[in-house]
Every structure is written in structure tokens, then in C-alpha cells.
Structure 1
Amino acid sequence: MQPRIKFIAFDMDGTFLNSQNDYDRKRFADIWEQLQKRGIRVAAISGNQYQQIRSFFPDIHEQMTIVSEVGSVIVENGERIAEYHFEPDVVADLIALLAQKNLLHRCSISGLKALYFARNAPEDFKQLITKHNYEWQEIEDLTQLPDDRFTILTLDVPEIDIQALVAELNATGKGSARAVSSGFNFIDIVHPSVNKGVAMDFLAKRWQIEPSEIMAFGDSDNDLEMLAYAGYSYAMAGSPESVCQAAKFQAPSNDVSGVLQVIEEMVLS
């Protein structure tokens, strides 16, 4: 028996997108059209910047919902309907700590207008963050930020005790910022109320949809709350054990369009 699904959400990197950072566009276009006819909501939910996620859906981004920066910004039909940003003094305290530890050159700060990083950042760091952020600015000094509302700080800190730094950042944040290890020597610092599960709950209540009517797909630890929330949650093949435990089912790999396969078989067939 097919589930009655009213809302489908998917992470982007490692989930919806393949290893070539793309997806089967014709196949998805056909699926999208069928989902629209059935009144099924669709949301891309990612840690990446809104402008970057939007670029993958040039023809339909104003008809879909996009949740960016791990849930910090929610855009529906091209309009921002929710955002979570830091108070200025919290950002200043975090930057002061990073400056004291000589880590500002390996930090980027996302705002609603753009992502910012220091001109003296290493080239490998610049290449990595500009790949996932389409609106960005190099600035001389992160202690002198432009006028913006800031949603997430990202650190790339190889050869450092990650857990010790996370603990120190959380102490500095004083409950107004939450630092989490995101793997591969990265730390994300977000608003304490932010995660993908919170964003999904916000949308479900807005649309009057029950968790049992939601299908979600993910592959990493920042998907855990979303996968736990959705009644039909799928870990992509090859996901870490923590993700597989949080999800109720497993989907084929992102390199064989696993998300699209499951939607076709479980929702549209």
C-alpha cells in the first residue's frame, strides 16, 4: 500500500545531487509536474546558501520551497517567510575568540546578502566555500563586517582539537549560538533554534501536514532531526551509521538518482 504523502523534502549534496554536482533534470522535471498536479509540496533543505540552492532550479525556484543554511532561512514561492540570525554582540564575541586563536583566516560568515571571508584566507578554503556559495565577498577584516544579518559561521580547522574548540565556542555563545562539528575538520556555528527538523516542523504546521504525510531524504548528521521527524525518512546508500539509524528506510545512492527512484516507486507509481 502506498503512503499518502503531502510533502517531500530532500537534502542537496550527497542526497539529491550526484557526485558531479548535478541531477537528472529531465527526469525531475517530469516528476515535478506530476507532484504539482497532485498538490504535493516539495522543499530542498540544505546547509548551503539560498542563492546556490536556487541556481539548481532555474525554471521552478519560485514555485518551490528552499530552506538554506541548515534551516536559518526559509523561502516559499520566492519570498522569505522565516529567518534566524545572530544578535550583533554574539557575532562580535565569536569573532573576538577566533581572532584570539588566530583562526579568522579559516572562517566564513554567511549573511542574508552574501557570504564573507577574509582576503588572507588560504586558497583551498576560498575554493571550497565559493563552490557552495554563489553570493560572496572578500573583505579585508572579519572584525569589520558590512551591514547584514548573519545566519551561520563556518570554520575549517585542520590539526585542531575539534571537540575542545566546539566546547569553547559554545561557552562563548552563552546559549545564543550553537557550534557543531560537521565532519571533515569543519565546524558550523548556528542560531540555537536552528536545525532541519525545526524547519520541517515549521513548514508542516504552516501547511497543516502531519509528520506521517512527509517523505524526507538525507545523508549526513545535519539531516538527523529532519529524518527523525518525517514519517517516511530515507538514508541514502552509503550514509553514516548515525544517519541510517535516524532514518526509517534506505534509498539507492545519489549517483543513481535514489531520491527520484523512491518518489517514482512510492508516490507516483
Structure 2
Amino acid sequence: MSIKLIATDMDGTFLRDDHTYNHSLFNKVFRQLERHNIFFVAASGSSYPRLQREFKDYTTKMGFISQNGSVIHLGDKLFKSFPINQEALARVIHVLDRFYGPNDINQLVISTSEKSYVDQGMSPHDFEIVKLFYENVERVPDIRKIFSQHSNDDFTKISINFANHINLKKVAATLDGYLPPSLIMENSGFNTDLIGNAVATKQNALSILQKHLHLKPDEIVTFGDNENDLGMLAMTSQSYAMKNAQPIIKMQAAHTTITDNNHDGVLQTINDIIKNNR
């Protein structure tokens, strides 16, 4: 067996709970990946600018699946994106306004492939959290008018972080019947739902890269910890749920990492894979 691509989720998987990672160990692992011609892909619900920041010394040498599969980059070049049409976007906002008030939603973020927008009324605390995950963020006077004011932009994802008193399972049950069939809603952890083009999933994005790079399923390794990683984990026999993942995620993956995300679980496992792949 020869491994040619490794794709990993970020928050709760590759990153520690404080959103950092072991840069020294990653540098050593990345050099080994290059030596063995293994392509490294970061797959995240957050934005490409955020992933660029996390991997600023490696950007041109790896792949990026951002916004849960809505945007794909090879190095610093946009490879493919899946926009949402304006009518569907307006429908999402209408449905959110119908069922949820300002105290129910902490952060509403609407993104293109390179930029994200929030309402100027967002609290400084929430704005700093959004910048952590989206990096290139602009406040606008009224987020609900963003589509008419930026009519030429290709919007790719809507992120809704709900207040703690909101049950996301009830959100899914409520919104599923109202969202246009052209859209999909996925839980991204942290009480956050991401809404985007129905074909924009991590699984589909990774399948596109697999086809582009002419890879077989058993030449791919995947890591994840959450529901939005399940499709990606199901793609290959070399899938790993994190030790810190919920039992249902571990049941779907072929393997479970020995150590969790706070103890370099992904990097330690990659080290072992490289040793066994020689």
C-alpha cells in the first residue's frame, strides 16, 4: 500500500483546543511527507484566509478544502468553488428571521471564497471569534442587504453560530423543511451550522482532488472528529477518528488515533504511517 494524500480536519482534530498546533513537529513531518511525495490537505469549515494564516510557511506546497468543501485551493491558487445563487441566499435569511431572534444567534457570517462579512452590530467579543476562524472579515451596515450591495460577488457559505440555549438537532429539524433543495446544512461543531451549495461537502471536495490527482481510495488517509467529517472518513479504508471524537464518529472510521487533538494525535499518527509506508 502506498499513501499519496493525507487530508485532515482542523479544529478538534489537527488543532488543539486553543487553536494552536506543534509547529516544530509539523515542520519535521511535512519534510517527511515531501520526501515521500505525500500531498497534505487541510480540510476545514473555516475560511481559506484563516488556513493560509495557519500554514503561512507551507501555503504553496499543500491543498486546502475550506468552508466545508465550498472552496478548494491547490497551493495559493483557487481550484474550484461552489457558489450559492442569490435567490437561495435570500431564502436562508428569510427562514432564519422567521424562526430565530437576535438573542438566538451569536454570529451570522456570509462568505465568498476569499472574504467574509458580518453585521456592524456584532459585539466586539463575537467579532474577534469570527476573525479567528475567517481572518479576512468586513463589517457591513446591514448583513441582510449584503447580496444587493455586493451583487457581483460569488457567495459560497453562510455560517450561523447559535446561542447555547439553542438545540442544533431542533434547528436541523426546523430548517430542513424550509431550505431550498439546492442547499445543504451541516454541523461544524461549536454550536455552529454551515449552509452552502448542496454539492459543497468535504467528501465531494476531496473526491474532486482525488480525481484530479488520479488517486485510488486506499492511497488517501483522512482524519476527523465531527459530523461534517463523516463523508470524508467514509471515502477510504485509511480513515482515523480522533481519540477525542464522539463514539458515533469513531464507529464510522476505520481507525481511532492513539492520542487526542491536544497531544498531536494527527501528527503522531502520520509519523507512524510514514514509517509503515516505507
Fold-level match, TM-score > 0.5? Answer: yes
**2:101 counterpart of 1:102:** yes
| Secondary structure class of the residue paired with 2:20 | coil
| Secondary structure class of the residue paired with 2:88 | helix
Alignment-derived partner of residue 25 in structure 1: 23
1:193-240: CA deviation from partner (whole Å, max 9, x where unpaired): 121111111111111111111111111111111111122111111210
Contact 2:184–2:197 (CA under 8 A) maintained in structure 1 = yes
Q: Distance in 1 between matches of 2:72 and 2:37?
A: 20
1:53-94: CA deviation from partner (whole Å, max 9, x where unpaired): 111111210111011001110000211111011001111121
Amino acid at match of 2:101: N
Pick aligned residue for 2:227 from 215, 221, 239: 221
**2:20 counterpart of 1:15:** no
Pick aligned residue for 2:155 from 143, 150, 170: 150
**2:119 counterpart of 1:118:** yes
TM-score norm. by structure 2 comes to: 0.89
Amino acid at match of 2:265: G
Q: Distance in 1 between matches of 2:95 and 2:270?
A: 46
Structure 1 residues 49, 241: CA separation in 2 closer, same or farther (over 3 Å shift)?
same
Flag structure 1 segments of 5+ consecutive residues without an equivalent: none
Give the RMSD, CA atoms, in angstroms: 1.9
Alignment-derived partner of residue 175 in structure 2: 169
- Of residues 191-200 and 13-22 in structure 1, the stretch that sits farther from structure 2 once superposed is 13-22
**CA shift at 1:264, angstroms?**
1.2
Q: Distance in 2 between matches of 1:236 and 1:164?
A: 26
**CA shift at 1:183, angstroms?**
4.3
Amino acid at match of 2:209: L
**2:231 counterpart of 1:232:** no
**2:188 counterpart of 1:188:** no
| Secondary structure class of the residue paired with 2:177 | helix
Contact 1:125–1:156 (CA under 8 A) maintained in structure 2 = no
Flag structure 2 segments of 5+ consecutive residues without an equivalent: none
**CA shift at 1:257, angstroms?**
1.0
1:110-149: CA deviation from partner (whole Å, max 9, x where unpaired): 1123111111224443232222110001111112114221
Structure 1 residues 23, 49: CA separation in 2 closer, same or farther (over 3 Å shift)?
same
**CA shift at 1:109, angstroms?**
0.9
Aligned pairs, number: 267
1:30-54: CA deviation from partner (whole Å, max 9, x where unpaired): 2212211221111011111100011
TM-score norm. by structure 1 comes to: 0.91
Instruction: State the percentage of identical aligned residues.
Output: 28
Pick aligned residue for 1:77 from 75, 78, 81: 75
Alignment-derived partner of residue 260 in structure 2: 253
Alignment-derived partner of residue 137 in structure 1: 138
| Secondary structure class of the residue paired with 1:151 | strand
